[in-house]
Amino acid sequence: MKTVNVKASREYNVCIERGILKDAGEMISAVHKPCKAMLISDTNVAPLYAKTVTDSLCASGFETVSFIIEAGEESKNAVNLALIWEALAENSLTRSDIIIALGGGVVGDLSGFAAATYLRGIEYIQIPTTLLAMVDSSVGGKTAVDLKAGKNLAGAFYQPSLVICDPEALKTLSAQTFSDGMAEVIKYGFINRPELLSLLESDFDIADVIEICVEDKRDIVSLDEKDRGLRQLLNLGHTVGHGIERCSGYSITHGSAVAAGMVIITRAAIKAGICDNGVLEVLIKLLEKFSLPTSCDFTAQEICNAAFNDKKRKGNSITLVIPEKLGESGLVPYDVDKLLDFISGAWKND
């Protein structure tokens, strides 16, 4: 089994191995004595994997109750959060009990926020079933719900006690959902992992790729858990990507928006003379290999208008993640007034 140890405000392991869903109970009992466990999942994932996980938990002495949300980003809201709190209370879960998040980023973020706030904090376990959740959202303790004004606007930093990744679960993902996860994987390569870029060009084992991404996220989170500086590197392509998502009314998926966002920011950086020319070609080749978009139909003005609401904005300045060399990105504070001019560079051909 591949194990990545994360040292943050809570220390925990991310365990990666094919077929480990059926061992979830045993693995969880190694970090938490048997108790009542609320399994939170969604209408796509529960029919596929909830029984395997529940049987395994029961065999290890856990008593389980479950809460199933409708699959989709619309479920990551304060109404569902309150329904989960009520269900936890109705089922008499105490501070010695746990939440288990079985699903993708929506289930993980919502469950994590419920765990952070119910009884002022109970432990939770992440069992990510999408690639995006395995390489990003299940690790690092960002938990949240969306508000009308934008995504992830209410939440907490709250680390899980264990993350269980079973790459076998990726087999049931749609091609689109797998590609969305690959956008986040590719992102790590361009932030600071050039060796990942070569691996992705080869016939790779996805478990190796997950391990590299989780190690990278671990290294960044352990230095900046609360996202005050270095952790913002993980937002490569995200400011523009969030703008694209908003412009599309969220019909463009997060991964596709981040993919196009990475291309736009790289093109703009090359145009501004702060990024090596060769970076763009490698980026586009990799995105195309995984059927991800390399452009979008919105204008620089539309994207900037939408991106200005980004919660990472500090007063009149926004921190952009700029790819500078192949496999090396940096943080550059940018005056909001100059952002449109900078981003517009991506649309200029001269």
Spatial CA neighbour of 320 closest among 299, 340, 290: 340
Q: Which residues lie near ligand GLY (CB under 6 A)?
A: 136, 140, 142, 227, 231, 234
Nearest C-alpha neighbor of 143 from the set 131, 126, 130: 126
* Residue closer to ligand GLY (CB basis): 97 or 225: 225
Minimum distance from CB of 136 to ligand GLY (Å)?
5
The pairing of strands 150-157 and 142-147 is antiparallel
Min separation Cβ 72 and ligand GLY, Å: 19
With a CB cutoff of 8 Å and minimum separation 6, the contacts of 273 are none
Cβ contact 281:345 at 8 Å: no
Shortest distance in whole angstroms from residue 233 CB to ligand GLY: 9
Residue nearest to ligand GLY (CB): 234
Shortest separation between residue 313's beta carbon and ligand GLY, angstroms: 16
Name which of 157 and 204 has its Cβ closer to ligand GLY.
Answer: 157
CB of 161 to ligand GLY, least distance (A): 18
- Using the 8-state DSSP alphabet, how is residue 1 labeled? -
In the block, tokens 């990744």 appear at: 165
Segments in 193-290 forming alpha helices (H): 194-201, 206-223, 238-247, 254-271, 278-289
Residue 23 or 216 having the CB closest to ligand GLY: 216
Q: How many helices (H) and strands (E) does the chain have?
A: 13, 11
β-bridge pairing 11-16 and 36-42: unpaired
Measured from the CB atom, the residue of 25 and 103 that comes closer to ligand GLY is 103
Q: Given the complex with ligand GLY, which of 218 and 246 has the nearer CB atom? A: 218
Task: Please say which residue, 142 or 267, places its beta carbon nearer to ligand GLY.
Answer: 142
Nearest C-alpha neighbor of 237 from the set 266, 211, 210, 216: 266
Task: Give min distance, CB of 220 to ligand GLY, in A.
Answer: 8
